[in-house]
Amino acid sequence: MTKLIKNPVLLKSFSDDFFNDFFRNDFASKPSVNIIDDENKTKLEMLVPGMNKKDFKININDGVINISSESETKSDNSSENFIRKEWTKNSFSRSFILNDDYDEENISASYKDGILEITLPKIEVKKKSKVIEIN
């Protein structure tokens, strides 16, 4: 696993192993992810043009966020004796391990201009002050 940002806030999942992707020839089929982190949130940005909101599935299960998509496009140039018929099917899945710093109930996502953006708000950790008495 690769540490992506300071204080293991978000870790790259073992399912995205570079060598598995390379040898399975899936390397180009997974969209790249930009990860932007600040003190209040982490944002994941994926460049996935030509898709619709309904094509994406985002699930969180046992501290792992999984972003996947499956879309199919068909076109017909005639009704019965077609000369040309084309269709494409695209799919991908990316998973990331989350630690306990995120408020999973308030994670949000948007898709605009070919960019899927997932916002992971951080839980505010209040530091307590305590005086320890010596016996």
pLDDT of residue 2: 31
Is 98 among the domain residues?
yes
pLDDT for 1-12, tens place per residue? 333 344 444 444
Is 112 among the domain residues?
yes
Sorted by sequence, the CB contacts under 8 Å of residue 9 that are 6+ apart come out as: 37, 42, 99, 101, 122
Is 131 among the domain residues?
no
Is 132 among the domain residues?
no
Provide the domain limits for residue 44.
10-121
pLDDT of residue 35: 94
Work out the end-to-end distance of the chain between its first and last CA atoms, rounded to an integer number of angstroms: 46
Is 2 among the domain residues?
no
Domain count, the chain: 1
Is 4 among the domain residues?
no
Is 52 among the domain residues?
yes
Sorted by sequence, the CB contacts under 8 Å of residue 4 that are 6+ apart come out as: 10, 11, 12, 35
Is 16 among the domain residues?
yes
Please check the confidence at residue 26 and state whether its pLDDT lies above 60.
Answer: no
pLDDT for 48-98, tens place per residue? 988 889 999 999 998 899 999 987 766 655 566 767 767 777 789 999 998
Note the pTM of the prediction, 2 decimals.
Answer: 0.67
Q: What is the CATH number of the domain that holds 85?
A: 2.60.40.790
